[in-house]
Chain A
Amino acid sequence: GENVEQHPSTLSVQEGDSAVIKCTYSDSASNYFPWYKQELGKRPQLIIDIRSNVGEKKDQRIAVTLNKTAKHFSLHITETQPEDSAVYFCAATLSSGGYQKVTFGTGTKLQVIP
């Protein structure tokens, strides 16, 4: 089955600096890669996603890159703010017969220090 590894497990940055979280996946058939943000005590929510036919996607301060050959994808947050502090999960998704088999990474706890 799919295996997703995520690094680092914790990350502390100064406000205004950039943060990068990296993930690798094992199944080359995975074709959709979402990122979820989970604030303390809340539910995970999608913040950005990328499909396998795209190399990079950007949404304001957040960007995601995908290298299909190397089977890795990354989340980049620029100009970090205290409200970016949360746990971030990457995921690799295999779509088959109308069902999405989603495998999550183990999460990165990001702390933005004011």
Chain B
Amino acid sequence: NAGVTQTPKFQVLKTGQSMTLQCAQDMNHNSMYWYRQDPGMGLRLIYYSASEGTTDKGEVPNGYNVSRLNKREFSLRLESAAPSQTSVYFCASSEGGRTGELFFGEGSRLTVL
């Protein structure tokens, strides 16, 4: 039982390049999330998927797209990376319903030069 797995762990991009962060969970959770973490700003929600087949914008969606490929997988794409997207990205999942605990992946550190 690996929990939430995200790849890659580290990535360096040049401005304008694109990349996809992959996330998979093996807990049969309904809801999945992408957060970014920046110093002094906590965890900010980029996009979420309440259930398979649905996605919606969070607090800071500009410059990102997501795909809920199936119940297990939720990917985050940067189409044209900008230095402002330098951050640590966390994928998370939760059962949904009244149970609110978020289970996080290990994080992906992205640097955009």
B-binding residues in A (CB < 8 A): 1, 6, 9, 32, 34, 36, 42-46, 49, 89, 93, 95, 97-100, 102-107
Bound CA–CA A99/B29 (angstroms): 11
B104 near A93 (CB under 8 angstroms)? no
Known contacts A49-B100, A100-B31; is A43 also within 8 Å of B90 by CB? Answer: yes
Known contacts A43-B105, A43-B106, A43-B107; is A100 also within 8 Å of B40 by CB? Answer: no
**Please, which residues of chain A bring their CB within 8 A of the CB of B59?**
1
Is B65 an interface residue when CB atoms closer than 8 A count as contact?
Answer: no
Bound CA–CA A42/B40 (angstroms): 17
Known contacts A43-B90, A43-B107, A44-B104; is A97 also within 8 Å of B41 by CB? Answer: no
B96 near A106 (CB under 8 angstroms)? no
Is B48 an interface residue when CB atoms closer than 8 A count as contact?
Answer: yes
Top 4 A-B pairs, shortest CB-CB distance: A99-B50, A43-B104, A106-B42, A32-B100
**Please, which residues of chain B bring their CB within 8 A of the CB of A1?**
59
Is B102 an interface residue when CB atoms closer than 8 A count as contact?
Answer: yes
B105 near A9 (CB under 8 angstroms)? no
Known contacts A98-B30, A98-B50, A100-B94; is A46 also within 8 Å of B102 by CB? Answer: yes
Bound CA–CA A99/B98 (angstroms): 9
If A1-B59, A89-B42, A100-B31 are given as contacts, then 4 extra A-B residue pairs at C-beta distance below 8 Å, sorted by A number, are A43-B105, A98-B96, A102-B33, A106-B40
Residue in chain A with minimal CB distance to B105:
A43
A100 near B100 (CB under 8 angstroms)? yes
What are 18 of the A-B contact pairs (CB < 8 Å)? A1-B59, A34-B100, A34-B101, A34-B102, A42-B106, A43-B106, A44-B43, A45-B104, A46-B101, A97-B50, A98-B30, A99-B50, A99-B51, A99-B96, A100-B102, A102-B102, A104-B44, A106-B40
B70 to chain A, nearest CB (A): 18
Is B82 an interface residue when CB atoms closer than 8 A count as contact?
Answer: no
A72 to chain B, nearest CB (A): 17
**Please, which residues of chain B bring their CB within 8 A of the CB of A32?**
98, 100
